[in-house]
Structure 1
């Protein structure tokens, strides 16, 4: 259902783009989402977050946030990254919450989500009062430690 939805959404495999039908397929897939198949939740979240006035759906950031949360709780690293951003910048009607941002970025980073790794390093560089102490270590950028002179 997810794949059919994406094919119709993007007009792949020689199919005409059909956003209305695509969203129907994505919604069906989202209703059956689990840890193995959370993708439709995330894609629907992106669509509802960014919908424009002439789109087949109405922009609904609250609903988009719910979809991202469902996918993130199923372990989907891209939704976890999205929630890290939401709480870092206070978007989608959420307050800025460093603790939540760091938690979601950390979950995604442990799965190798590169943008989350970068965002998390930013939190370590700046720190956050009462949440995360600023890292005093400077990266060596892979260079070996200088040898002591004899």
Structure 2
């Protein structure tokens, strides 16, 4: 078996310094999120070689850019995956489908019940009176702008609870970027009580619309959080990592390579493991490059040639900007941490037994 070392722990979930983004996962930042830190995971045995990785601190909102989690710990007692995914057809092996025209970005939808937030918005600076009224009138773009300001402390006192309420209004209206943000709030316990079930719900709704970062974060929760039977759901994790990987998310590609190498959630397949480690390495991931080389040493010349061909022809799927790209933040003045919780007050520390996936994007 291929020895896969601990993955870098996920930094703060999102690309922007968004407190709502889950600290342990999240890939590319939307705004200015810290680069994902990699958490230290125990060395796992796979294919007879050991590769070690240092973790930077997964779940913390260090996900700044993309939160990375460590390599999955091999659970030798783990039972065979409940549902083995059909032998994978990689995108490399699938005939290129005609590019579908990207949907025009329509922006956040109107929200209902915004008048109920009147009390929450009463303390906004007088300079934001127009923005406040627009939110109360149900303007979705105004609600997104104010939520982002409250989450970042941009031009207003930082208020994670208010940000979560505004994101929830937009999420309920079906806006994928807000569903992703709300999932992050619930995952990290930012402004709301930490609730992984709610995090999975909102990440799942966004992922089903094609939101790539939500796919990755949802997969990390499945991989690191015990299901009803007390064991991680690697089959579901593999399915969502696969989709994120095909959209080009580097950390999803790395984690999928780990799952294929260890045979967690799907059948062990070193050719596929090589392909996905190669895809991540092509994006500058040195750890993935080392894992790819370890896997290569275990492949027969014929299998290695096949793996290299698949890796060379891989083309990521195109993301729908209407689903994955939220409105650009308006210039809102200097950022402030006034009103923010004391450092570490609401920080989530993943359990020691958490699987070493690269988290949060």
Q: TM-score range by the shorter chain?
A: 0.7 to 0.9
| 1:84 shift after superposition | 1.4
Identify the residue that residue 208 of structure 2 maps to in structure 1: 73
Identify the residue that residue 123 of structure 1 maps to in structure 2: 259
| 1:22 shift after superposition | 1.8
For residues 95 and 114 of structure 1, do their structure 2 counterparts lie closer, same or farther at Cα, with a shift above 3 Å needed? same
| 1:15 shift after superposition | 2.5
The TM-score normalised by the length of structure 2 is: 0.34
Q: Distance in 2 between matches of 1:92 and 1:56?
A: 25
Q: Distance in 1 between matches of 2:227 and 2:194?
A: 11
CA offsets per residue over residues 84-143 of structure 1, 9 Å max, x none? Answer: 1122223587842222111100111111111101101111222237x2223156448xxx
Q: Which runs of 4+ in 1 moved over 6 A?
A: none
The answer on whether the counterparts of 1:106 and 1:117 sit within 8 Å (CA) in structure 2 is yes
Q: CA RMSD in A?
A: 2.6
Q: 2:185 aligns with which of 25, 42, 47?
A: 47
| 1:4 shift after superposition | 2.3
More helix by share: 1
Task: Select between 75-84 and 92-101 the one with higher mean Cα deviation.
Answer: 92-101
Unaligned 5+ runs, structure 1: 146-150
Q: Distance in 2 between matches of 1:69 and 1:103?
A: 12
Q: 1:108 aligns with which of 244, 247, 259?
A: 244
Secondary structure of the structure 1 residue equivalent to 2:194: coil
Identify the residue that residue 2 of structure 1 maps to in structure 2: 144
CA offsets per residue over residues 28-70 of structure 1, 9 Å max, x none? Answer: 111122xxx411111111111222xxx6422222212211111
Larger RCO (CA under 8 A, 6+ residues apart)? 2
Secondary structure of the structure 1 residue equivalent to 2:270: coil
| 1:21 shift after superposition | 2.5
For residues 118 and 61 of structure 1, do their structure 2 counterparts lie closer, same or farther at Cα, with a shift above 3 Å needed? same
Identify the residue that residue 38 of structure 1 maps to in structure 2: 176
